[in-house]
């Protein structure tokens, strides 16, 4: 019966609509005598049956439309559970066939399922969700534009971090994991250095640069290196060449491109 799986959202809506219609009739019978049921003659609106009728009518309409589906279904499931135990627990709570509580029990279980599963394919709630999704995408796009416009290089570094080291690592790991790469190669690797390790690597860099820059011209470079060293951490990006070589062997037609593509991915970070 797997062929029915693709129809699951539509069948869920049909279940919701049919159940809501039958449930709503209990409310119209109590409040408007539609259909007419003799035992509801003279029903007081503020009696327990009158309040039940309001829930059945209003809740039935909302479920029929698929509006506020989950909270409404949850409330109505509770109402039917209470109705079962108040009106049908005798003579035997475990035998709805004998105590006349089959409808209340079924309504309660169906409603709690709808509260968990939602309204299905045909529900007014979906329109609100689409509007929220579109608004969220627009806001995200605007945030991205604003971030690009206000991006600046910050040279006045210090060791005061507004977030923890672990949070910094999580941000970097997330960026590396989700940055697009050719053939989904994910060849970029990262080392994050804090504290003493950060100081050491900055010292290594300074020593290496002193070997290639004349002493009389080293002052500007030293000033810039001191600014970097004043920071709290160093993030080193590099490429895992085993991944690159593996792709070159697997796709020889593109072999010469993979090192370049790996650098492109690295640059995105």
In order, the DSSP letters of 155-223 are ----S--SS-HHHHHHHHHHHHHHS--GGG---EEEEEEEHHHHHHHHHHHHHHHHTTS-GGG-HHHHH
* Residue 148 tokens, joined: 């690009």
Q: Angle of helix 102-117 relative to helix 8-32, nearest 10 degrees?
A: 130
Dist CA 95 CA 78 (whole Å): 19
pTM over 0.85? The answer is no
- 118 pLDDT higher than 60: yes
Bridge partner residues of 192 (DSSP): 235
pLDDT at 68: 92
Query: What would the pLDDT profile of 58-98 be if each residue is shown by its tens digit?
Result: 999 999 999 999 999 999 999 999 999 988 888 788 888 88
Residue 224 has pLDDT above 60, yes or no: yes
> Is residue 176 scored above 90 in pLDDT?
no
Peptide bond just before 35 cis, omega within 30 deg: yes
Average pLDDT, the chain: 87
Specify the 3-state DSSP secondary structure of 46: coil
Share of the chain above pLDDT 90, in %: 38
Output DSSP code: residue 38.
Answer: G
Is 80 exceeded by the pLDDT of residue 53? yes
Q: What is the mean pLDDT of residues 183-210?
A: 90
**pLDDT value at 132 more than 60:** no
């Amino acid at each position: 019966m797997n062929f029915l799986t693709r129809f699951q959202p539509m069948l869920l809506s049909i279940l919701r609509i049919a159940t809501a219609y039958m449930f709503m009739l209990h409310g119209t019978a109590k409040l408007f005598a539609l259909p007419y049921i003799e035992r509801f003659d003279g029903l007081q609106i503020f009696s327990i049956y009158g309040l039940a009728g309001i829930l059945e009518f209003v809740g039935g309409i909302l479920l029929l439309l698929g509006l506020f589906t989950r909270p409404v279904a949850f409330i109505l499931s509770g109402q039917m559970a209470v109705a079962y135990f108040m009106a049908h627990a005798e003579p035997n709570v475990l035998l709805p066939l004998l105590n006349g509580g089959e409808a209340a029990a079924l309504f309660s279980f169906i409603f709690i399922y709808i509260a968990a599963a939602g309204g299905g394919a045909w529900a007014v709630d979906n329109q609100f969700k689409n509007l929220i999704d579109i608004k969220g995408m627009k806001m995200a796009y605007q945030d991205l534009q604003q971030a690009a416009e206000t991006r600046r290089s910050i040279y006045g570094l210090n060791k005061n971090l507004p977030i923890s080291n672990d949070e910094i690592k999580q941000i970097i790991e997330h960026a590396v994991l989700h940055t697009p790469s050719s053939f989904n190669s994910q060849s970029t690797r990262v080392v994050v250095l804090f504290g003493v390790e950060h100081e050491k690597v900055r010292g290594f860099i300074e020593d290496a640069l002193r070997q290639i820059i004349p002493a009389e011209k080293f002052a500007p470079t030293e000033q810039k290196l001191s600014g970097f060293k004043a920071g709290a951490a160093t993030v080193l990006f590099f490429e895992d060449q085993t991944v690159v070589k593996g792709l070159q062997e697997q796709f020889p037609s593109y072999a010469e491109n993979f090192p370049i593509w790996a650098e492109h991915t690295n640059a995105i970070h």
